[in-house]
Every structure is written in structure tokens, then in C-alpha cells.
């Protein structure tokens, strides 16, 4: 079983914070303990040297025993004085030593020979002592040695007490800080909890709900704002989807009702085989339109997605194929179709989808242009984009409807009357195909003078 990180940010934050604090406390405690050790040692040495200095002067003036006793007795029970002659034999021992002698090391002798004091830490019996050895100079030569020792037990006690304090204070401080940290983290993250609770209540049916802003303008407010914007977009998309399904159902119901009506009329009386045939042929046309509509609906669903493939596509080739189909439609209607190519241009995309988009434009142009009119397809390259436009001399589109015609199921009144009118999906399919290819489809039109639909697509480079 492996260790797993705690689930909530606030627990993790608290753990992190506490660990960092623990390390900080340990480092500062260790450092302060070390500094105290140094300071105590310095104090002891300084006091010891001062004392040894006083006794040396007393020895030089032959007042050693009185001075030493006075000092040792008065305040410092744990201080010991020893005077040694040049040969190393003890000349005086303070009472506190109780007959024991202080050790005289080779280093201390050497120091004395050079006229310098020597500081050492030694063990006498069970006591640890700090010991200073100081020469008494007569005629420039050390005649006697003054040794003053002080027990280190006081310093050790002080250090031990400090360590005890740390052992209590560090965990206590850590516990308090962890508690405080946990409270702060919980308070700071409370809005996040609230946000997720609200977000959980937002479903597809309640997309109008929004996360509450606290007005602090901080990161959490910005997050809530971003989420709210996303919700608004989702709400819009859902509404559009709902509208689309309703429109689609409506579009399907009309021809199906007509079909049913026709069949019911045919069944109402006995008919001759020829009559039946006529009815069936007539209904077949409706079935064809239904199939076309179903295919278009499928296409609308798919056309907004990323192109299935992205290969180099020659725009001129696309225009030619669309024009071919347009010409077949145009001929019986007495409409002329023609094409003009400026600079040839290649774009990256799904040839079949682009073909479909252009075909929709050309078919519309032919469909809505009266006999004697002209439909012209233009291919050119401009500012690193491929431009394909379809112009006609048809009725044009009222200015108020220029954007509307790209919406699904929108047919203008004039077109709705016509038998040839489609479901109003052609332009919306064309636009979503072009947009999915990173391009734009725009319309310029003047009532009574015609329309021009223009596709801009990023040209393939290299
Ligand atoms: P459909 O052609 O199936 O009606 P579209 O989405 O292709 O649907 O077109 C939507 C509407 O835009 C058409 O019904 C028509 O009113 C108008 N329209 C499209 N193209 C033209 C055009 N070239 N000239 C005039 N009106 C047009």
C-alpha cells in the first residue's frame, strides 16, 4: 500500500506549511543553542582570565593565599586556585580542592614558558573544569604558575535548561502554527468549496444559474467570472441546440404530414394501377426531399467540427466542380454561369466539405436568379488567403436579413413560396464548413441588384 497525497488542498497546504515551519524552528533552535554555547564559554573564559590576573598580582606581591581564599570563599564555591612553582610542585592549593591537584599539561607549561595564558577544559574527579594557567614573571622569567579552574556545571545546567525549553516550545509553537495555518487555509479556500457546491447544482436544465462573485476582484473572483462566461456560452449553445431540434422536427413534420395526407387520399377509394402509380411517383419526390433534409441535418451536425482531413485543395478545381452542377441547374432556367480565375491558389482542408460549401452557394445563386441572369464564380489569391466568390444578378437580400440567412432553417419569404426552396440549411452548412477551416464566409448584397457570397480561406504555404 503506497502513501497517497491527502485529497484536500487545505490539508496539503497545512502539511506543507507545518513542515516548512518545523524545519525553520529546528534550524533556528540549533543555531541559537550553538550561539548560547559560544557566549557562555566566552563568559567563563573572560571571568577566569580576570580572576587569574588578580591572583597573579597577589602572588607577585606574596599575598596569594589570602586573596585566593577570599575569592574562593566569598562567592564562587566552584572555583579552585593552585599555585605551582617553576619545578611543577604545588606551592598553594585552595581549600575547595580538598587535597586534589589541578593537572598541569605540557601545553600549559609551554604557554607559560612563552609568557602566555593557556585555557583548557579538563576533568578533575567527576568534575569538568575550565582551567587557565598563567605564569608569574620575575625578571622576565616564569617563577611560578597560577592555575585557576572553574566548574563547567553552571554552563552545562544553563544549556540543559535552554534545551528543555526548546523541547517544549518548538512542538508547542508548531502545534499552534499548524492550527492557525489550518484555520487560515480553510478560510481562504471556503469560497472554493462554496463555488463547487453551486457548480454542482448547475445542470443542463439550470444553466441560467451563475456563480456568485464576492466583489474582491481576487483570483477566485476571476475564476468565478471565467466559469460564468463559460456557463453563458454553454447556455447559448444549449438554447441554440434546443431551437435547432425544434426547427428540425418541424421541418420533418411538414413533408411527413403531406406524405401521409397524400397516401390517405389515395387509399380512400379503389384506384386503377395507373392512378396508384401516379400517387407513388408523386410521393417519391417527397421522400427524396425528406432524405435530402436528413442528409443536410446530418451535415449541419458534422460541418462545425474540425475538418476530417487536411490536404492541399485547389480552389479552382472546387469552383469548377460546383460550376458543373450549377450549369446543369442553370440551363433549363435560362441562367448563364461562368467562371473567372485570377491567381491559382491552394488551401489546406477537406476537399469534399469545401466542395459542398461552394456547391451550396452556386446552387442558391442559380436557384434565386431569374431567367436571363448571370452567376459568376471568381477564384483569386489575396494577402495569403484564397478568395472564392459567387456573384449573381438575382433579387438580392434585404439588409436586415444579411446575417439571418446564415442561420439554420431561415428562408426569406420570397424563397419560401418557391417550390424549389430547401430547408434553409444550405448557407448555415456552408458557413460552418468554412469557419471550421479557419476561414470566413461573408455576403454583400443590394436589393434588386444581386448578391455576392465570398469565402476567404488561409492559403496553404510551402
Ligand atoms: P435554402 O436555399 O435551402 O433556402 P439557404 O440557407 O441556402 O437555404 O439560404 C437561406 C435563404 O437565404 C434562402 O432561403 C434565400 O431566401 C436566401 N438566399 C440564399 N442565397 C441567395 C441568393 N443568392 N440570392 C438571394 N437570396 C438568397
Q: Residue 171: its pLDDT value, please?
A: 94
Bigger pLDDT: 230 vs 9: 230
Q: Which of 104-108, 125-129, 411-415, 438-442 has the lowest mean pLDDT?
A: 411-415
The pick from 326, 363, 417, 426 for probing ligand 1's pocket by mutation, whose C-beta has the most ligand atoms within 8 angstroms, reads 426
> What phi, psi does 381 have (nearest 5°)?
-120, 130
Q: Residue 199: its pLDDT value, please?
A: 84
For 317-351, the pLDDT digits (tens) are 999 999 999 999 999 999 999 999 999 899 999 99
CATH 1.10.287.130 domain residues, the chain: 219-300
Task: Name the grid cell of 401.
Answer: 436579413
Is there an atom of ligand 1 within 6 Å of 397 CB? yes
Tell me what the mean pLDDT of segment 383-412 comes to: 92
Going by pLDDT thresholds of 50, 70 and 90, the confidence category of residue 183 is very high
**Residue closest by Cα to atom 21 of ligand 1:** 364
Tell me what the mean pLDDT of segment 240-262 comes to: 88
Q: Which atom of ligand 1 is nearest to the CA of 394?
A: 24
**Residue closest by Cα to atom 19 of ligand 1:** 364
User: Do the beta carbons of residue 152 and residue 130 sit within 8 Å?
Assistant: yes
Whether this model's pTM surpasses 0.95: no
Q: Residue 372: its pLDDT value, please?
A: 94
Distance 445 CA to ligand 1 centre (A): 12
Question: Which residues in 56-126 belong to E strands, given as ranges?
Answer: 79-85, 90-93, 118-124
Q: Which atom of ligand 1 is nearest to the CA of 413?
A: 16
Is there an atom of ligand 1 within 6 Å of 375 CB? no
User: Do the beta carbons of residue 175 and residue 182 sit within 8 Å?
Assistant: no
User: Looking only at Cα atoms, what is the longest distance across the chain?
Assistant: 159
Distance 174 CA to ligand 1 centre (A): 75
Distance 246 CA to ligand 1 centre (A): 21
CATH 3.30.565.10 domain residues, the chain: 308-458
Is there an atom of ligand 1 within 6 Å of 426 CB? yes
Q: State in words which class domain 308-458 has.
A: alpha beta
- C-beta pairs of 192-195 under 8 Å, 24+ apart in sequence: 192/9, 192/220, 195/220, 195/223, 195/224, 195/227
Domain 219-300 has CATH 1.10.287.130: yes
Q: Which of 2-16, 23-37, 113-127, 142-156 has the lowest mean pLDDT?
A: 2-16
CATH 3.30.450.20 domain residues, the chain: 9-158
Q: Which atom of ligand 1 is nearest to the CA of 416?
A: 14
Tell me what the mean pLDDT of segment 182-188 comes to: 90
Distance 421 CA to ligand 1 centre (A): 8
CA gap 170, 178 in Å, rounded: 12
Homologous superfamily (CATH) of 9-158 is PAS domain (3.30.450.20)
Amino acid at each position: 500500500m503506497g502513501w497517497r497525497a491527502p485529497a484536500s488542498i487545505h490539508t496539503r497546504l497545512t502539511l506543507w506549511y507545518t513542515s516548512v515551519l518545523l524545519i525553520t524552528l529546528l534550524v533556528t533552535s540549533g543555531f541559537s543553542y550553538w550561539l548560547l554555547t559560544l557566549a557562555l564559554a566566552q563568559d567563563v573564559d573572560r571571568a577566569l582570565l580576570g580572576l587569574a590576573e588578580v591572583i597573579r598580582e597577589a602572588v607577585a606581591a606574596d599575598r596569594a593565599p589570602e586573596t585566593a581564599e577570599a575569592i574562593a570563599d566569598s562567592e564562587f564555591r566552584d572555583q579552585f586556585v593552585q599555585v605551582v612553582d617553576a619545578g611543577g610542585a604545588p606551592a598553594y592549593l585552595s581549600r575547595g580542592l580538598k587535597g586534589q591537584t589541578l593537572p598541569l599539561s605540557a601545553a600549559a607549561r609551554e604557554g607559560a614558558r612563552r609568557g602566555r595564558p593557556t585555557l583548557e577544559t579538563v576533568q578533575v574527579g567527576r568534575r569538568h573544569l575550565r582551567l587557565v594557567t598563567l605564569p608569574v614573571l620575575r625578571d622576565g622569567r616564569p617563577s611560578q604558575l597560577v592555575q585557576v579552574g572553574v566548574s563547567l556545571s553552571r554552563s552545562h545546567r544553563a544549556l540543559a535548561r535552554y534545551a528543555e525549553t526548546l523541547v517544549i516550545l518548538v512542538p508547542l509553537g508548531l502545534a499552534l502554527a499548524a492550527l492557525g495555518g489550518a484555520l487560515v487555509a480553510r478560510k481562504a479556500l471556503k469560497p472554493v468549496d462554496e463555488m463547487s457546491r453551486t457548480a454542482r447544482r448547475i445542470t443542463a436544465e439550470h444553466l441560467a444559474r451563475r456563480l456568485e462573485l464576492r466583489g474582491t476582484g481576487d483570483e477566485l473572483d476571476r475564476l468565478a467570472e471565467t466559469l460564468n462566461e463559460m456557463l453563458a456560452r454553454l447556455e447559448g449553445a444549449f438554447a441554440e441546440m434546443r431551437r435547432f431540434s425544434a426547427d428540425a422536427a418541424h421541418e420533418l413534420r411538414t413533408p411527413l404530414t403531406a406524405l401521409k395526407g397524400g397516401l390517405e387520399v389515395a387509399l380512400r377509394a379503389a384506384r386503377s394501377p395507373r392512378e396508384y402509380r401516379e400517387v407513388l411517383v408523386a410521393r417519391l419526390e417527397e421522400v427524396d426531399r425528406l432524405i435530402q433534409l436528413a442528409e443536410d441535418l446530418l451535415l449541419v451536425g458534422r460541418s462545425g467540427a474540425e475538418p476530417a482531413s487536411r490536404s492541399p485543395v485547389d480552389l479552382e478545381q472546387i469552383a469548377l466542380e460546383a460550376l458543373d452542377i450549377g450549369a446543369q441547374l442553370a440551363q433549363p432556367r435560362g441562367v448563364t454561369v461562368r467562371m473567372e480565375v485570377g491567381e491559382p491558389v491552394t488551401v489546406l482542408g477537406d476537399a469534399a466539405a469545401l466542395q459542398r460549401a461552394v456547391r451550396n452557394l452556386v446552387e442558391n445563386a442559380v436557384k434565386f436568379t431569374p431567367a436571363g441572369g448571370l452567376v459568376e464564380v471568381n477564384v483569386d489569391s489575396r494577402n495569403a488567403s484564397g478568395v472564392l466568390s459567387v456573384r449573381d444578378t438575382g433579387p438580392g437580400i434585404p439588409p436586415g436579413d444579411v446575417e439571418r440567412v446564415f442561420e439554420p432553417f431561415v428562408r426569406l419569404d420570397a424563397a419560401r413560396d418557391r417550390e424549389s426552396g430547401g430547408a434553409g440549411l444550405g448557407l448555415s452548412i456552408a458557413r460552418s464548413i468554412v469557419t471550421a477551416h479557419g476561414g470566413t464566409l461573408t455576403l454583400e448584397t443590394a436589393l434588386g441588384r444581386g448578391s455576392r457570397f465570398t469565402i476567404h480561406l488561409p492559403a496553404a504555404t510551402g
